[in-house]
Amino acid sequence: MFGILRIAYKLLANDRAKFTALVMGITFAVFLMVQMTSMFAGVLSRSSATVYNVGASVWVMDPAVQTVANSIPMPDSVLDQVRSLPGVKFAVPIYSGGSLVKMADGTYQAVTIMGLDDTSLFGRPVMEAGRIEDIYGENGFIAVTDSEYTKIGSPKIGAEFQINDHRAKIVGLAKVSSNGLFGVPTLYTTYSRALQYLPNSRFTISYILVEPKSAADIPAIQAAVARAGYVALTRDAFVRQISDFYKYKTGIGTNLLMMTVISFIVGLSISGQTFYTFILENLEKFGALKAIGMTSRELVAMILFQAGFVSLTGYGLGTGLCATMIWIARARMPDYAAIITWGNLLLALGMVVVIAGISSWFAVRRVLRIEPFDIFRG
């Protein structure tokens, strides 16, 4: 069989023009698809950055909340209620809100302010410089050195700003595991200072972060919170809810779907058609092979091998190209949000397999139909 596949390979690879067109078609389709889905995956992962960075197991929020950035304040009574639930080990509030920072040169910059529970500092970031305890100091704020850090002038410890006419002083630098989507810098302070510096509505708690006694307690906590008119989501469920919001309620998902369909059509029309033309061109020769004594099974094996070889080559080139592009883009723009996930790769592979499947199905049908007698007749 190896020799037969070798013939199959030579028939295809020696036809430089077609082989190139075939591989390019697949490469291009895979590139488009992986690029799009990776961008989207990047956006999705960033949209949940806060959820990952804070790291709580269960989040209690208003039922109308769709993304972590748009919290809806809850009254303090909810916090007391949650704390009194039997399965709750501890529950703390967190503040999350936007504000404007007035920098030394008088310009303004939008920022996200995270207010950590004063007693526990739960949800604290990993410190790079300074001590987390300094956050309690006068006007203490901690700046996150993510890709947005430069927008507030890359402040060092001791730098000062104004937030709503209050003085704010950088007492530490922190890093977070995940960058946000919205392109604004993040500052951490205590919950009480956040309330003090920022104008508030009647209610002040953005989220209640809950640590259950055990995972088994979560359903009961969720039920109790629901009875109180709020929702309690596990970290993963919250991330999923945010992702679903971007996928289904923003048009990004639809666009992505369209791009996927387009890359599929591009791949199929370039490579599928080229493959079919290639088969048609060699059809009589395949008929001659049949006469000589090649079985239908062997002919099908040749075609599947050709389709498979082209597809995998194109797939490898496409994903490689995409990875290189993203790598270059990242090196130039730290902000660039794209991640190639296993899901993306599998999806693209699935698409390639479908393209190869459709192309070879038509090719196989055609080749099985030729009668060696007709070839012999000329």
Partner 1 sequence: MGEVAIRAEGLTKGFGQGETFTLAVSDVSFEAYRGEMLFIVGPSGSGKTTMLSMVSGILRPDSGRVMIEGEDIWAMGEDALAHFRLHRIGFVFQDFHLFPRLTTAENVAIPLVIQRRDWGEALTEARRFLDIVGLGHRADIPPVKLSGGEQQRVAIARALIGQPDILVLDEPTASLDGDTGRNIIGFVRREVLNDKRCILIITHDARIFEFADRIMTMEDGRVTRIDQGGMAHVAHEGV
Question: Is position 294 an interface residue for partner 1 (rule: CB under 8 A)?
Answer: yes
Question: Is position 11 an interface residue for partner 1 (rule: CB under 8 A)?
Answer: yes
Question: Is position 3 an interface residue for partner 1 (rule: CB under 8 A)?
Answer: yes
Which string of x and - marks every residue 317-356 that binds partner 1 (by CB under 8 A)?
----------------------------------------
Q: Please choose, out of 46-54, 131-139, 290-298, 314-322, the segment that lies near partner 1 by the rule CB under 8 A.
A: 290-298
Spell out the residues 6+ positions from residue 158 whose beta carbon is closer than 8 angstroms to its own.
Answer: 169, 170
Nearest CB to partner 1, comparing residues 30 and 299: 299
Quote the least distance from Cβ 252 to partner 1, whole Å: 46
Quote the least distance from Cβ 251 to partner 1, whole Å: 48
- Among 7, 24, 300, 312, interactor with partner 1 by CB under 8 A: 7
Question: Is position 312 an interface residue for partner 1 (rule: CB under 8 A)?
Answer: no
For 70-77, the CB contacts below 8 A with 24+ separation are: 71/96, 71/97, 71/206, 71/207, 73/200, 73/201, 73/202, 73/203, 73/204, 73/205, 73/206, 74/203, 74/205, 74/206, 74/208, 74/230, 75/202, 75/203, 75/205, 76/203, 76/204, 76/205
Q: Please choose, out of 46-54, 184-192, 281-289, 357-365, the segment that lies near partner 1 by the rule CB under 8 A.
A: 281-289
Quote the least distance from Cβ 302 to partner 1, whole Å: 11
| Conformational region of residue 148, where left means phi above 0, alpha means psi within -120 to 50, and beta covers everything else | alpha
Quote the least distance from Cβ 303 to partner 1, whole Å: 15
- Among 29, 289, 355, 370, interactor with partner 1 by CB under 8 A: 289
∠ Cα 202 203 209 (to 5°): 170
Question: Is position 236 an interface residue for partner 1 (rule: CB under 8 A)?
Answer: no
∠ Cα 276 280 284 (to 5°): 150
- Among 295, 329, 333, 365, interactor with partner 1 by CB under 8 A: 295
Structure-token match 């190139």, residue found? 20
Cα 84 to Cα 4, 56, 77, 90, 225: the distances in Å are: 74, 18, 11, 9, 11
Question: Is position 300 an interface residue for partner 1 (rule: CB under 8 A)?
Answer: no
Q: Which residue in 73, 140, 141, 133 sits closest to 111, CA to CA?
A: 141
Spell out the residues 6+ positions from residue 76 whose beta carbon is closer than 8 angstroms to its own.
Answer: 203, 204, 205
Nearest CB to partner 1, comparing residues 3 and 106: 3
> In a 10 Å sphere around its CB, with 0-12 CB exposed, 13-18 middle and 19+ buried, how is residue 103 labelled?
middle
- Among 83, 167, 249, 285, interactor with partner 1 by CB under 8 A: 285
- Among 150, 254, 277, 296, interactor with partner 1 by CB under 8 A: 296
Question: Is position 17 an interface residue for partner 1 (rule: CB under 8 A)?
Answer: no
Give 105's Cβ-side CA count (13 Å radius).
6
Nearest CB to partner 1, comparing residues 124 and 290: 290
- Among 20, 150, 284, 327, interactor with partner 1 by CB under 8 A: 284
Question: Is position 304 an interface residue for partner 1 (rule: CB under 8 A)?
Answer: no
- Kindly state the number of chain residues that form the binding site for partner 1, as judged by CB under 8 A: 32
Render 150-178 in DSSP notation, one character per residue.
Answer: GGGT-PPTT-EEEETTEEEEEEEEEE-SS
**Amino acid at residue number 279:** I
How many CB atoms sit inside 10 A of residue 158's CB? Answer: 9
Question: Is position 14 an interface residue for partner 1 (rule: CB under 8 A)?
Answer: yes
Question: Is position 252 an interface residue for partner 1 (rule: CB under 8 A)?
Answer: no
Question: Is position 371 an interface residue for partner 1 (rule: CB under 8 A)?
Answer: yes
Binding site for partner 1 (CB under 8 A): 1-4, 6-7, 10-11, 14-15, 282, 284-285, 287-298, 371-373, 375-378
